Amino acid sequence: MNAPERALSFLLDEDNAEQKITYAADTKVSNAGTFTINKEDHTVANLFRMQLLRDPNVRFAGYIHPHPLIHRIDLKIQTTSSTVPPVDCLTAAIEDLAGETDHLIEQTTNAISKWKKENQAGMGQFQ
Amino acid sequence: MPNQRFPKIEILSIEQHEIKFILSETDTSVANSLRRIMIAEVPTLAIDLVEFAENTTVLNDEYIAHRLGLIPIRYTSPDTLRASDCNGAFLPHRECVCFERCPRCSVEFELDVNFDQTVKERSVPEHERTLPFTVTSADLVSNHNSVEPAHFLHADEEGNSHDQGISIVKIGPGQHLKLKAIARMGISKEHAKWCPVAVATYRFYPIITINEEACARLTLEQKQELVDVCPDRILELDEVSGKLTVSEYAWEIATYTEDLKVAQDAMKEKPEDDDFVTVEHSTDRFIFSVEGTGAMDVEEVLMSSMRVLKERLQYLSQQLEQIREI
Ligand SMILES: [Zn+2]
C-alpha cells in the first residue's frame, strides 16, 4: 500500500526535482568535496572509487551507499593540491572508464566473432 | 586519458544458454560492475500487464499473471542474425510518449484456450475427453513477428518435456482461459522477471607456484601426500623425475581450499619456512560464467551489459559537466 514505487530505485524523482549529481565542497578539509549521485549503487560507485585511486592527483577517494533502500551514493574525493579540483579528477576518471568500456566492447565483439568462426561447425542454430 | 586500462577478453566457450570467458588486465571493480549490470540492468522484455476476459481455471487471475510475467520473452532482430538485444528496438514504457501503450514500447500477446473446444478440435479419443491438459507459453500468440516466448533453452530440454512450452495452468472440462498479456521492456532492478541471466558469476584466476628449492627437501611420499590432500586435484607428481607439477586444468578447478596449507605446514622444519606450493588469487584476471534464461543469447547479454555501462558513464559525465557550470 505505502511501498515506494520500484522504479524509483533507478529513475530520478522528477516530481521532487531530484538532481542526478550534486556537489558540496568540504568545509574543513582543503581540496576535498562530496559528490552525491542519486539513483546509483555499488555498480558505478566502486568503479569510480577504484579508478580515482589510480590517479596520482587523488589523495582520498571513498564512497558510502547509506542503506539498501536509500538509492544514493556519497562519493568523497580529496586531491593532493588546490590546483586540481575534485570535479576534474572525477571527470578524468569517468573519461578513462568510458575509454576502457569502448575498448572492452571492441575486444568482446572481436572475441565473439573469432570464437564463432573457429567453432561454427559445432554450433547448431536453435529455433 | 592518463590512467586508462586496456582489458582483454578471451572466450572459453559459447553455448545456447551459457558463455564462459576470461576478463584480464583490469581489476575487480570492472569485473564486478559487469556482473552486477548483467544481473540487474540489462533490459529485456517481460509480460507486465494482463487483461483477463475469462478465467474459470483453478488458479486465480493474479497467480496466472505472475506466472506469465516469469516467462522469458525473446526478441530476435530482423536484420542481424542471432541478435537478441531488445534495447534500442523498444523504448522503456515510462520514456515513451504514448498515452497508454503503443508498438514502440509494448508487445501484445493473446491467449484463448477453451477446454471443450480444444478437445473437440484435437479429436481426442472418447475415453480421454475428460483428462486435463496444460496451457503453456506455446498458446501465447504474439502481435509482433520478432517477439515470442522462449519456450525452451535448447533442443535437449524440448525433447525431455511433455509439453509444448512453459506450463501456465492445467485446464479441465468446462474451463476457459482468455486473456491479453502486454510485454514491456524493463530491468530487473524493478522486478526479477526482467533478469536476462540465471547465473552470472566470476572467479579469480588462480596463481599456483611450486617452490622447487623447498620441494627438493621433500620425500616422494610427502610430495604424493601434497598431491592427494588437494580435493580439487590441482597438483600432479611425475613418478620418473619425482617433480611436483601443476596439472593442466588447475586454473579451471582450483577451489582455494585450506587443506594444502595445513598439510604442508606439518611438513616444514620451522613454521617460518617457505611454502612448498602456494595457491593465490590473481587480482587482474577473472573467469566469468554466465547462464541465460532464454530471453537473450548469452553473448548478447555480455555485449548489452557493456553498452549499458558505456551509456551510463556518458550520462554521468554530461551531468558532471552541468555541475562544473554552476
Ligand atoms: Zn508507447
- Mean pLDDT computed over B74-80: 82
- Mean pLDDT computed over B148-157: 88
For B31-55, what is each residue's pLDDT tens digit? 999 999 999 999 999 999 999 999 9
Sign of the dihedral through C-alpha B34, B35, B40, B43: positive
Chain A residues with beta carbon closer than 8 angstroms to that of B33:
43-44, 46-47
- The CA distance from B157 to B231, in Å, is 32
- Mean pLDDT computed over B231-241: 90
* pLDDT greater at residue B180 or residue B216: B180
Confidence of residue A127 (pLDDT cuts 50, 70, 90): very low
User: What's chain B's average pLDDT?
Assistant: 93
For B267-299, what is each residue's pLDDT tens digit? 998 888 999 999 999 999 999 999 999 999 999
CB atoms within 10 A of CB A31: 21
- Quote the minimal CA–CA distance from B293 to chain A in Å: 14
Q: Please report the pLDDT score of residue A5 as a whole number.
A: 85
Q: Please report the pLDDT score of residue B240 as a whole number.
A: 86
Chain B stretch 216-255, residues whose beta carbon is closer than 8 A to a beta carbon of chain A: none
CB atoms within 10 A of CB A9: 17
B81 has pLDDT over 60:
no
Chain A residues with beta carbon closer than 8 angstroms to that of B322:
21
Is B313's CB within 8 Å of A55's CB? no
Return the C-alpha cell found at A37.
549521485
- Mean pLDDT computed over A85-102: 96
- Quote the minimal CA–CA distance from A95 to chain B in Å: 7
Please compute, for residue B89, the number of CA atoms within 13 A of its CA located in the half-sphere on the CB side: 22
Confidence of residue A98 (pLDDT cuts 50, 70, 90): very high
Sign of the dihedral through C-alpha B221, B226, B227, B229: positive
Q: Please report the pLDDT score of residue A126 as a whole number.
A: 45
For B154-190, what is each residue's pLDDT tens digit? 888 888 888 899 999 999 999 999 999 999 999 999 9
Q: Please report the pLDDT score of residue A1 as a whole number.
A: 73
For B104-123, what is each residue's pLDDT tens digit? 999 999 999 999 999 999 88
Chain A residues with beta carbon closer than 8 angstroms to that of B319:
20-21
Q: Please report the pLDDT score of residue B318 as a whole number.
A: 96
- For ligand 1, the distance from its centroid to the CA atom of residue B241, given in whole angstroms, is 72
Best B22, B306, B315 residue to mutate vs chain A (most A CBs within 10 Å): B306
- Quote the minimal CA–CA distance from A37 to chain B in Å: 9
Q: Please report the pLDDT score of residue B207 as a whole number.
A: 95
Return the C-alpha cell found at B80.
542481424
